[in-house]
Each structure stands twice: as structure tokens, then as C-alpha cells.
Amino acid sequence: MHIRFLASPINPADINQIEGVYPLRPTFTKELGVLPDGEHKELAVGGNEGVAEVIAVGDQIEDLKVGDWVVMGRSGFGTWRTHAAATPNDVTRIDKGIGSLQAATLTVNACTAFRMLKDFATLKEGDFVIQNGANSGVGQAVIQIAHAWNIKTINIVRNRPEIEDLKARLKSLGATYIVTDEELGCYKTKDLIKEWTNINDNNVGIKLGLNCVGGKISTEMAKYLCRSGYHVTYGAMSRQPITIPASLLIFKDIKFLGYWMSRWYQYHSKEERSEMMNEIIGLIRQGKLGDVAHDEVTWGSSNENDESLKIKLLDALDKSYTGFHGKKQILQFQL
Amino acid sequence: MHIRFLASPINPADINQIEGVYPLRPTFTKELGVLPDGEHKELAVGGNEGVAEVIAVGDQIEDLKVGDWVVMGRSGFGTWRTHAAATPNDVTRIDKGIGSLQAATLTVNACTAFRMLKDFATLKEGDFVIQNGANSGVGQAVIQIAHAWNIKTINIVRNRPEIEDLKARLKSLGATYIVTDEELGCYKTKDLIKEWTNINDNNVGIKLGLNCVGGKISTEMAKYLCRSGYHVTYGAMSRQPITIPASLLIFKDIKFLGYWMSRWYQYHSKEERSEMMNEIIGLIRQGKLGDVAHDEVTWGSSNENDESLKIKLLDALDKSYTGFHGKKQILQFQL
């Protein structure tokens, strides 16, 4: 089948993949065309996330038709391009009725947040989740999905000059409590968190901690988890390892686990992928899961030449790479 | 019912408990007698492990009879005493046919080894386990039980002058391979371990790592685990925390968990306890699980007075406390 991409974001992991420091390689092929020197060299297309429209299907394909929207069903497909040939297993059909930019950013951040809230602790309404890097793309999705499910969140963010604005913004997304990294270690905050979560003994309290930072803040966070709680690492923004006191493992039975969305896609069926997508799209339609902050990078309008496109792409990559630009760069293909 | 103790070891955790640095308190009671000043003060008896003989049972108790041997069914009972009143739930009946010193040391080391080999990774014959502190009581039990089940072990021990003697001794217990902490980080050892375990990709290799040391060696050990392997901490002899690179969690899906035998006893039934004991006693009877190195500390022979008993106990506690004495002190009650 053939698909044309509508929109594809640039995620930090895409850049790590190009740098060769990401454990998943993109799909290399000799079919992407001939190099200027005439050689058929192995090439790969960057990008792991995106939404595309089906523009042609073979006779054997029954569950997809021309006009359907699809997102990527696996990592490493290569989404920074206008057109591609794909197999049905490369993609997951999604319900329309959300914008293409929303659809383009479904499969990484929102799905990571969704799965981490579902697949570790058994959370019920009123339960608590604590997370660091709460302002990250995944962090914001965690806040919103948890809020939609009546799960309370304690959100750790780095202190910064405009901290009150950030707190207000996260509150508006549904964050229950927000503390800064500096506040986290204070006795006053410890008491506050105990009060919020009604920690009377080790068996109640916070069942799940989500860590995308690493280092000291991830250890501090682990200490707030209840007995047999889950500490799930899905990122390492500080580039620091996690240090665990043995007592948290032995006596408190905290489980230190990792989460990687790409692995989930590898081991789960098309049906499971669809079910997750539909649930997330439902939240978007109900207004419970909003857009990520982003810049639209339009691509392929008639007055652009190769050189201007290259500059545009490099600029978007630069903005994604520096990370603290704060907005996701999304390529929007105009055809 | 009433029981009389036959033998009770002194374990490091017993001493930590007396020091107040262990998370489980012993059972305090005012019924242990009157202090010299006439006051009924709350007292507790030390010791968490031991074997006792049933000497009297009430009418309601059906599954225990006079003459039965029992081990402790929970932590904190207090085993450093000649006699005690107990409820059936305090104890687990065991098959006789092993020595009292073997029976006295069943419930901590052998059971910890047994459960850690059963409850985390699904191990089949020929699979590999790696452990540090391989010369510890639990470590030696791991070697023997794994050997009995045809599971291969890679055993890390600290380098020492008489290392060849130690290697020979662990080999005689059934250790498959032995490496020193100093050798572990060497490229040569890395290649050797790959060769031993046939690591061709991340999906095969070593499924389970057992850690009672902590610090650098526990991180090194984690790197040898296969994808989705289990790193289980049950001790911290180095008193160092465990440092985990985020990539081991996220991309390699290594699960860092803790194990505490006391928690297992808390959440498992009498039947499950009996089943485990019988399986371990079976291994002992078949000669597959040998005695731990120990000193017998006889207690209560007719020519001893309170003062000489006190000196004897303090000496045994001292030897247990220094740890590197290497032999478990076992009180043997003579009545």
C-alpha cells in the first residue's frame, strides 16, 4: 500500500537515532533512489512518529482503504518524508475527527503516558502518582490522562524564574499538586506530601513514580513511594544514573523498572494498538487531552526549493536538539 | 501449645534487630517474668530462626502433636530461649530426618536462596544465574540448589589471599564458574562470560542476578543480564547503594527488585511454607544441600551458671557481629 504523510514531529529520540546513540536503527534500504554519484547507497529516512493518509491499497488488504488515516505501528519506519510504501503491519489505522497535528503526536508521548499509568501499578480513582519532568511532553500527557481518570498527580518541575506561570499552566491541565526540585527535599514538603496523600503507614500512599530525569531527584522521588510501589524510568534528561539505597529494594519492596514505548509496540498486537489509540483519541475529542506546545514547520509549498527546505529542516532540528526550546517541531506536509 | 527449642542460630539481622536498625521489631511482652526490681517490664527475646520440638498441644490443635519438630513461620518470634508458648500459626511443622542444626538454619538462608531462584525469572535447566557475595550463607545455598536443579551459576567473590581454596570449595558445592570482583570488570572476563553463556544477542544470556553486596559490583553484574532480566537485591554488605544507568532500565528492561524473606512469610500460607520446607529438606536428605559452616554453642548443660552463659552468649554475638568470622554461631539447647 502507499501512504502520504500529513504531519511528522521531530522527537529527541529521532535525533539520538541519527547520532547513532539510540538502540534502534532506522530501516535502511537501497530503494530510496540514486545518489548524485550514481551509486545505490543504503539510506534511511529519519523520524519515528507521524500520521499519514492511505492513497493506494493492494487487493489483499481488507482492513484499510484509501483515505484512511494511519499512525506508525512500529519504531524506525522513517516519517520525515512525503510518501512511502508500507505494509499493513507498519501502521495502525486511527479514527479521524482529530487534527492532523494531534494525530501526528499520538504514538509517542500520549501513548507512553497512557501505558505507564495502566501497565505497572493497579491505580484506582483517588490514587496518587508522582512524576518528575512534569513539564515534558509525556509529563503533560500524564497530568491530563490521570486527571481524566480521577488519579491525583504530584508533579515535580525544576525551579525557574517564571515558576508561577508554569504552575498555573500545569494546574490548568489538571495537575493536583506541583513542587519544585528544590522544594522536594525540604521537611516542609515531606510533611505536605504526607498530608496530601494521607500516608499513615507504608501500605498506602503513592503507588507509582514516573522518572524521566534521573540523578538525585529520582532517588528522592522513590522515597515517597508506598511499600511495593513502582518506580518507572522512561528518560534520563539529567544524564545521571539512578542511585538506589538497598533498603528501598529489600524492606520497602520498591520495584525499579524501565519503560520504552518502542518495546511495547514490538510485543503487542495490532488490536491492542488500535484499542489504545481509540481510547486516547476519545480523550482528545472530549477535550481532556490537549495539543502539545508546538511549531508548525510547513513543507512542500510550491515556492520552496531544495535549499530553502534544507535550511528549514536544519533549523527545526536545531530547535529540537537544544531541548529547552519547549516547543515540539512538527513537519506539516503540504501537497 | 508449648515448644522447647533444640537449636537457634545467630544471624546478622538478629543483631541489627536488637540495635534497632532493622525494620521488624521482635515481639514484646510483659509475660516474660519480673525484673529484679519487681516491675513487669516489656521484654522481647532475640533470634528469628530456630527449630523446636512440640512438648504440649491443646485439644483444638489437630495438625501438630507432641514430638513434632517445628521451625518459625514468621519473623520476630524470639528463638534464643529454651521454651516458649506458641500458636500453630507461629510455626511450620517439618519432616524429621535431618539434624537439628540443619533444621535450625532452614528458614532464612536456604529459603531465601530457594525463593529467589523460583520467584523472579522463569529458569529452566541450563539457564544461568549470576550472583555476588557467592560465599555468603545464602550464596552457598544458591550454588547448591541451582546445581541440584541443573541451573548454572556464575559466582562473584572478593579477591583474597586464599582465593584458590575458596574457588575449590565453591566448585565442590556445585558452582559452575567463579570470578573475583577484580576480574569482573576486565575485558578478558567479559569475553569469557560471553563465551560461557553463549550471548549472541540480548535475548539470551543470564536471566537472574542476585545481589547482597551493592555498590559498583552490583552495577557491573547488572550489565551481564539479558534483556528483561531480573536484578534482585537481598543484602548490602558493602553498605553502598546501587547505581543504575537509565539505559539498563529503559532499553534493556532490566528489573531491579528486592527480596526479603520476612515479607514472603508475611504474605504466604502455612501450606506454601510447608511445601517449600519439604522440598528443601528433600535436597538436604539427598545430600544436595549441605550444612553451613558453623560453631555449636551448647547451652544449658548442668555445670553452667548464669554468668558463664552470659559470657558464652556475648562471645557468640561478637563472633556473629564481626561477620567475617565466617562461621554461623548456633545455640544448641541441652535439656
* pLDDT tens-digit map of B186-230: 889 988 998 898 765 445 689 999 999 999 999 999 999 999 999
Q: How far is CA B22 from the centre of its chain?
A: 16
pLDDT in tens, B81-105: 999 999 998 999 998 889 999 999 9
How far apart, in whole angstroms, are the C-alpha atoms of residue B93 and residue B110? 16
Spot the catalytic one: B22, B177, B230, B259.
B22
Which residues in chain B have Cβ-Cβ distances shorter than 8 Å to A241? 243-246
Q: What is the pLDDT of residue B200?
A: 55
CB contact under 8 A, B241 and A241: no
Closest CA to B195 of B232, B230, B154, B253: B154
Coil, helix or strand at residue A247: helix
If one counts every other C-beta atom within 10 angstroms of the C-beta of residue A200, the result is 9
pLDDT at position A177 is 97
Residue A119 C-alpha, separation from nearest chain B C-alpha, in angstroms = 14
Q: What is the pLDDT of residue A332?
A: 94
Q: Which member of B248, B255, B258 has the closest CB to residue A250?
A: B258
What are B169-185's pLDDT values in tens digits?
999 999 999 999 999 98
Q: Residue B202: its pLDDT value, please?
A: 47
CA distance A20 to A28: 13
Return d(Cα B31, Cα B20) in angstroms, integer.
Answer: 22
User: What is the predicted pLDDT for the residue at B37?
Assistant: 80
B214 Cβ under 8 Å from any chain A Cβ: yes
pLDDT at position B322 over 90: no
pLDDT at res. B194: 87
Q: In chain B, positions 244-273, which contact chain A (CB-CB < 8 Å)? A: 244-260, 263
Pairing of strands A225-233, A206-211: parallel
Q: What mean pLDDT do residues B128-148 have?
A: 96
State residue A202's pLDDT score.
47
User: Contacts of residue A242 in chain B, CB cutoff 8 Å?
Assistant: 243-244, 246, 249
- A256: chain B residues, CB-CB within 8 Å: 244, 249, 255-257
Q: Regarding the domain with residue range A121-258, which homologous superfamily does it belong to in the CATH classification?
A: NAD(P)-binding Rossmann-like Domain (3.40.50.720)
**Of A289, A291, A295, A292, the residue nearest A313 (C-alpha):** A295
Which residues of chain B neighbour A245 with C-beta distances below 8 Å? 241
Which amino acid is residue B322, in one-letter code? T
DSSP-derived 3-state class of residue A288? coil
DSSP letter (8 states) at residue A40: -
Give the residue with greater pLDDT, A249 vs B322: A249
Q: Which cell numbers in the block locate residue A31?
A: 530503494
DSSP conformational letter for A281: H
Cβ contact, residue pair A258, B249, below 8 Å = yes
Is CATH 3.40.50.720 what the domain over B2-107+269-333 is classified as, yes or no? no
Task: Point out the residues of chain A with pLDDT beneath 70.
Answer: 199-204, 322-325
Q: Would residue A22 show up in a list of annotated catalytic residues for this protein?
A: yes
ipTM: 0.91
Q: Can you tell me whether residue B234 is helix, strand or coil?
A: coil
One of 3.30.70.20, 3.90.180.10, 3.20.20.70, 3.90.420.10 is the CATH number of A2-106+269-333, namely 3.90.180.10
Tell me which of B152 and A22 has the higher pLDDT. B152
- SS3 of B211, please? strand
Distance in angstroms between the alpha carbons of the first and the last residue of chain B: 19
A235 neighbors A213 (Cβ within 8 angstroms): yes
Average pLDDT of chain B? 91
* A237, closest residue in chain B (CA to CA): B246
Report the pLDDT averaged over residues B52-81: 93
Contact A255 B254 (CB under 8 A): no
| Residue to substitute from A256, A257, A259, interface B, most B β-carbons within 10 A | A256
Per-residue pLDDT tens over the stretch A64-112: 999 999 999 888 999 999 999 999 989 999 988 899 999 999 999 999 9
Tell me the backbone φ, ψ of residue B292, rounded to 5 degrees: -80, 155
> A16: buried, middle or exposed (CB in 10 Å: 19+, 13-18, 0-12)?
middle
Domain ranges of chain B: 2-107+269-333, 121-258
The per-residue DSSP string of B305-328 comes to: -HHHHHHHHHHHHHHHHHSTT-SE
Mean pLDDT within B41-49:
91
